[in-house]
Amino acid sequence: MSARIAVLLLQMGGPRSLGEVEEYIRVLFSDADLVRLPAPVSWFRAPLARLVAKRRAPAVRRQYQHIGGASPNNRITEEQADALQRALHARGFDQVLCFAAMTYTPPSAGDALRSARAAGCTQFLAVSLFPHYCSASTGASISDLHRGCEANELAFEDLWLLDRWSDDCAYLDAMAQRCRTTLAEAATAHPDPPHLVISAHGIPESYVQRGDPYLDEIRACVENLIKRLRPAPAYSLCFQSRATPVKWVQPATDATLQRLGAEGVRNVVVLPISFVNDHIETLYEIDMLLSDVARACGVDCYRRVPSFNADADLIGILAGLVAGSPLFHGVSGSAPPNHE
C-alpha cells in the first residue's frame, strides 16, 4: 500500500468535565439533525438550545458526578482508534492511521481530517460507531463530516463511508457471546431463569413515520441475536433515554421493568443494544436509575451486559469491517465483510 489512508471513527463525544456539561447540552440541542423544528420557527433553535441547556445543566451535572465527573466516551473512542490502528498494522495495513472524530466535542471531523492530511493521508474512510443507522446519531455525525470536508476543502464524495454494520456476523457473534456470559452469571446467582431486557436508545415516533430505518434495523438485529442464543431466553425489546416531550417509540425501558416485576420476574439481564461505548446512558441510566426502578418492582438480580468499549472483540470487528471496505479491495490482507 503506497497512499496513506485515514480511518475516522465517528462518535458523539461527551463532556470531559462538569464545567463542559452546559455547553455540551447547548450544542446537542442546536443540532438540526437531533432537534427538528418546522421551517417557520427554525430560527428559534439557538435560543431554545440555550434555554434547555441552562435548565437541564444542574440535573445533568449531578448525573455525571455519579459516574466520575465526566463522560468516558471521548477517551474510549481515542483508545479504540489507537487499538484499531495497531490491529490494522498487524494485518499488514501499515499505511493506515486512525483518528477519533466527535460530533459534539473536539476533536470534530474537521479536526480529524486536518490531522490526517497533516500526517500525509490522501484517502479517507469514515466508520460510524453506531451499528444501527439513525438520522439523529449517524446522520448528525455525517453532517459534521460534511462540515469537516468543507473546512478542509475536500469533496465529501471522495470519502468512503461505512454508516451501519448491525448485520455484521462478527458483531452479532460477539454480542451473543457477551449475552451468553452474563445470562450464565445471572442463572448462577439466582434460582429463577434470567429475562433478557434489550434496551435500545429511543427515538421520536415522527422519525419512524418519516422513514428513518433505525427501528427496523434494531428489530432485525434483535432477531439475528436471538437466533444465536440457544436455548433462547425470554426477552423484551424496549427503549430508553427519552429526551423531549413528543411521543417516542414504545415500550419504555422503565415501563418494561415495572411490567416484568409485576409479572413476578426476579432475575433481569439488560443489554444496551444501541451502544458500543459506555457513557451516561449505560453508567448512570441503566446501572443506577433503571436498576433502582427494577429493584423497587421486586427484581432481586439485576445485571448489565458489558459494553464493548475498546475490548479486543470490538477492535477485531472494526478491523474486519475496515479491511472489507471497497477502499481496501485489492490490498494484500483484506477480506470481504460477512453479513447476515
**Residue 241 DSSP SS3:** coil
**Residue 18 DSSP SS3:** helix
Specify the length of the chain in residues: 340
DSSP state of 43: G
Query: Are 4-13+72-164+311-328 and 169-304 equal in CATH topology?
Result: yes
**Residue 37 DSSP SS3:** coil
**Residue 123 DSSP SS3:** strand
CA distance readout (Å), 53 to 2, 15, 78, 103, 279: 47, 13, 26, 17, 19
Residue 337's pLDDT band (cuts 50, 70, 90) = low
Residue 201's pLDDT band (cuts 50, 70, 90) = very high
Residue 38's pLDDT band (cuts 50, 70, 90) = confident
One-character DSSP codes across 176-203? HHHHHHHHHHHHHH-SSPPEEEEEEEP-
Q: What is the pLDDT of residues 253-267, one digit of tens each?
A: 999 999 999 999 999
Look up residue 186 and give its amino acid.
A
Residue 336: its pLDDT value, please? Answer: 45
The pLDDT of 44-51, averaged and rounded, is: 87
Residue 330: its pLDDT value, please? Answer: 58
Look up residue 84 and give its amino acid.
L
Distance CA 94, CA 85 (A): 8
Residue 1: its pLDDT value, please? Answer: 46
User: Would you list the domain boundaries of the chain?
Assistant: 4-13+72-164+311-328, 18-66, 169-304
Q: Is the pTM of this model over 0.85?
A: yes
Residue 32: its pLDDT value, please? Answer: 85
Four-way CATH pick for 169-304: 3.40.50.1400, 3.40.605.10, 2.40.50.140, 3.30.70.1150: 3.40.50.1400
Q: Where are the beta strands (DSSP E) in 221-307?
A: 235-240, 267-272, 301-304
Four-way CATH pick for 4-13+72-164+311-328: 3.30.420.240, 3.30.9.100, 3.40.50.1400, 3.30.1300.10: 3.40.50.1400
Q: What is the pLDDT of residues 66-105, one digit of tens each?
A: 999 999 999 999 999 999 999 999 999 999 999 999 999 9
Which residues pair with residue 8 across a beta bridge?
Answer: 99, 126
Residue 329's pLDDT band (cuts 50, 70, 90) = confident
Handedness of CA 109, 114, 117, 118 (dihedral sign): negative
Helices 73-90/312-323 angle, 10° precision: 60
